[in-house]
Amino acid sequence: MSVRAGRVQRALRMSLPGAACAGIAVLTLAAAAQARVAAAPLEVRVGGGMVRGAVERGVITFKGIPYAAPPVGALRWAPPQPVKPWAGVRPALHFGPDCAQLPTPGDAAPLRTESRESCLYLNVWRPKSAGARKLPVMVWIYGGGFVDGGTSPAVYDGTEFARDGVVLVSFNYRLGNFGFFAFPALDRLAAAGRRGDYALMDQIAALEWVRRHIGAFGGDPRNVTIFGESAGGISVNALLMSPRARGLFAKAIIESGGGRDNIFPSRPLSGSPHSAEAMGLRLARHLGIDGEGPAALAAMRALPAQRLVDGLNMATMGANHTYVGGPILDPGLYPGAPVKVYASGAVARVPVMIGANTDEIGHLTAASLPAVWRGFGKDAAKARRVYDPDGRRTLQQVSYAAGGDQWMVEPARAIARILSARGQRVYEYRFGYVATSLRGTVPGAPHASEIPFVFDTVAAHYGKKTSRADEAMARAVHAYWVAFARTGRPDPRGEPAWPEYRTSTDELMNFTGHGPVSEADPWRQRLDLAEHASRRAGH
């Protein structure tokens, strides 16, 4: 029975007088629904062969489906290659390994697998019933600073999306020194434009798999929404800019995905002491390998994966001097800072949802509060009033608040303004809901804290501390994301209307402690200061 039919039944039970009438109505509706739908198959053919899923918690799941060949040996630092076909039916019952990494202690989305270099797997959640109409598809791209993360964390479970009639796909992509790496010998071997940004190549390969095969899982390849948070949000920006990703998705959601050139360094592939190739040579020397030719490359490819992980994670990446730091400049994959690229008109013309949280990640490097205020130039006095109104804030508090605005919150507004002015449909949000168990301990909604609300997996994240208020907010947030995936408009029935973004009105959806509120941005003055400071710094 469909999710919609189940909801109608519950409504009928509440509205019809008498148990007999309710029972007749339920049986009649159940018979009609059964006539329209059939059980979805557990066995599906994909590019490599047949896979078999399982029924879990009322939906069908397929886990650990390879979408590309293992990127090991000669395929380390190569574009993703086709899967080698298999014989018989491959069980798709467990997550494949997440990609090679050193997990960061205390990560809010802990992995549930062993991480390995052979990791290019994806997962699919779909409703248990199969109808005549193809379903909307959502493709999740995880965050983790491009050094951590995977599809196995419990908060990324796609069950609730499938229960609401969405086919949810998640996939792994290469991380750290496996995902972003350049080397002179690779430059000579690689085809034009197929080098450096292997993580982004993996993402495009996964989306190409979705286009080819998602119809077999009941999904509509013409109605695909990509969404991601942090590094995943940066990835969504990259896919919106990439000519190679055109036509692979119809809508996009950017959660805390930055947009200005102030998070990761913009490294060219080659030609400077700070280029990606220069960093690759530095990494090789650090690992005891000299030279830049084929023999040095072969030696690098022969290293155990753990040597290349090299202690890199979100806690250590800032002090690491041998890792490129993230996407490498490439006109086909990552042409530059999204705010600048979008302003030039180079962006996929699809509906976009974008936003950030009220206690975002980010920091300023100033060594004192007076230095912080100087960074705002002529706005120094205003910045002091906004960020330190009572004169009692510490350097760290001010640095994090202003840094979060400049890294995440203001760039989201800037992108909303640019796309809206281009005539694209765009919706901005601000996530400020703090779980009841954390209230009084944090100044706002921390970076990434919206994720369990988007997936409606708050119980998996907060456990016994989950409150009814948390569950209600999760249902509301989740409903907005599902509605956008269905139609390109976040307009779930029964929730406050979310207007399109316009610079003139500056309206967004504010997910507050009291529920969703559509209003003019209450942080407008604060973000104006962040915008001026970012421009002053050349971002």
Give the chain's end-to-end CA distance (angstroms, integer): 52
CA gap 224, 160 in Å, rounded: 17
Q: Which two tokens stand for residue 521?
A: 């941005």
**Sequence-ordered list of residues with C-beta below 8 angstroms from that of 249, at least 6 positions apart, any chain:** 139, 207, 224, 225, 226, 239, 348, 350
Measured CA to CA, the distance from residue 46 to residue 342 in angstroms comes to 35
Query: Alpha-carbon distance 539 to 268, whole Å?
Result: 17
Give me the phi and psi of 43, to 5 degrees please. Answer: -110, 130
Say how many residues make up the chain: 539
- DSSP classification of residue 311: T
Q: How far apart are CA 77 and CA 182, in angstroms?
A: 8
Residue 251: what are its φ and ψ, rounded to 5°? Answer: -150, 160
Q: Pick the catalytic residue: 152, 230, 256, 399? A: 230
Per-position DSSP letters for 27-78, written without gaps between them? HHHHHHHHHH-EEPPSEEEETTEEEE-EEETTEEEEEEEE-S----GGGTTS
Tell me whether strands 121-127 and 167-171 are parallel, antiparallel or unpaired: antiparallel
Token code pair at residue 285: 């020397």
Whether 539 is a known active-site residue: answer no
Q: Which of 117, 292, 360, 428 is catalytic?
A: 360
What is the SS3 assignment for 507? strand
Choose, from 160, 213, 428, 447, the residue flagged as catalytic: 447
Q: What is d(CA 539, CA 531) in angstroms, rounded to the nearest whole number?
A: 9
Contact 83, 99 (CB under 8 A): no
Pick from 532, 319, 232, 233: nearest CA to 405:
532
Give the Cα separation of 468 and 41 in Å (integer). Answer: 35
Known catalytic residue: 447? yes
Backbone angles phi, psi at 59, to 5 degrees: -130, 170
Maximum distance among all Cα pairs of the chain, rounded to whole angstroms? 83
To the nearest 10°, report the CA torsion of 242, 246, 250, 254.
0
* Measured CA distances, 115 to 70, 103, 449, 452 (Å): 13, 9, 24, 22
Helices (H), 134-230: 159-163, 176-179, 184-189, 198-213
With b for 16 or more beta-carbon neighbours within 10 A and e for fewer, the 186-197 pattern comes to: bbeebeeebbbb
Tokens 């800072």 belong to 337
Active site residue 360: yes
**Looking at the annotation, which residues are catalytic?**
230, 360, 447
